[in-house]
Amino acid sequence: MQQPLTCVEICAGAGGQALGLAMAGFVHVALIEYEEDYCKVLKQNRPEWNVICADVHDFDGLPYKGVDLLAGGVPCPPFSVACKQLGKEDERDLFPEAIRLIKEIQPRAVMLENVRGFLDSGFDEYRDHILTSIQKLGYVTHIKLLNASDYGVPQLRPRVVIIGIRKDHLNAFAYPDEKPNSAPSVGETLYDLMAQNGWSGAKQWAANANRIAPTLVGGSKKHGGPDLGPTRARNAWAELGVDGRGIANEAPVPNFEGMPRLTSRMMARIQGFPDTWTFGAKKTVACRMIGNAFPPPVAQAVGEKIKECLEHGCADSKCEISFSQAVV
């Protein structure tokens, strides 16, 4: 019987990527996360996971040398248009730490994700440096912009996914096939949650919310609260009949009138989390966790292709740099 593939994950957040990789068949031997609230959520949802609540700068990868996959969603603020896009000059840039850990752990494969801004022309030199650094450690690299909506997630959410496959395996990697128009609408996704308190307008609301959602935002400790983002994002939500100025504690009551607000559970479902995944009792923290997460269905789709590559091999071993069409 074939042994399960193992994974070390850095910057684990609320567990979106970890959950997706677990559904793809990977067994996590360590998850590293800095924020205590996030660590509690990871442990609460998966008590069997080895969650290490520590700064990734202090994490020693040598004890985990030889695992199958090193994964992580390194912080996006250095490359996000919502921030100053300082790139490598931003103290939150953890790509150097990811490269250090690749060198220490020497995994068979690497998976790193970040925001669309990472592909901006202003980061061409730094992006090339990161890819070259991974290649020099013995990996064939791949980079592509994936839209969550192409993998059944009911929101746009473009994310850059970098893959490295160790050269000694002689197996290339192929990104999962995109399935445009496969995602349900916001109305289809949330109807039962909107109606759970007997709101008489839920059915009509769902019929009008007939498109996928804009990208959920999470903000940071310093910026962003329990809402759906800045004015542009709120306007996009308003077109779907959602009041983005705040997050509700419960679904609308029977005689509710006007535009409803999402609950954190509704946000989580739009992000692709199962309803059984919990985020703690602090609403602002929960919204930040959910809004900053990597959708589990996307992580699962990519993870399955990595697993396929490691277990069975692929057709081509050329370095691939490809850009899918994304809309924000």
Determine whether 262 is exposed, middle or buried from the number of CB atoms within 10 Å of its CB (0-12, 13-18, 19+): buried
In the DSSP assignment, the letter for residue 49 is S
Dig out the tokens for 70 from the structure: 């090193």
- For 37, 47, 155, the CA distances from 302, given in Å and listed in that order, are 27, 24, 18
Pairing of the two strands 51-53 and 26-33 = parallel
Q: What is the DSSP string of 75-122?
A: -SGGG-TTTT--GGGSTT--HHHHHHHHHHH--SEEEEEEEGGGGSGG
Catalytic residue among 11, 39, 76, 287: 76
The CA distance from 47 to 109, in Å, is 26
One-letter amino acid identity for 189? Answer: T
Q: Which residue has the tokens 């970890």?
A: 18
The CA distance from 135 to 72, in Å, is 18
Beta partners for 33?
53
User: Catalytic annotation on 76?
Assistant: yes
- For 60, 165, 318, the CA distances from 170, given in Å and listed in that order, are 28, 9, 10
Residue (of 150, 171, 170) closest to 161 by Cα position = 150
The CA distance from 122 to 129, in Å, is 13
Q: What is the number of residues in the chain?
A: 328
Catalytic (active-site) positions: 76
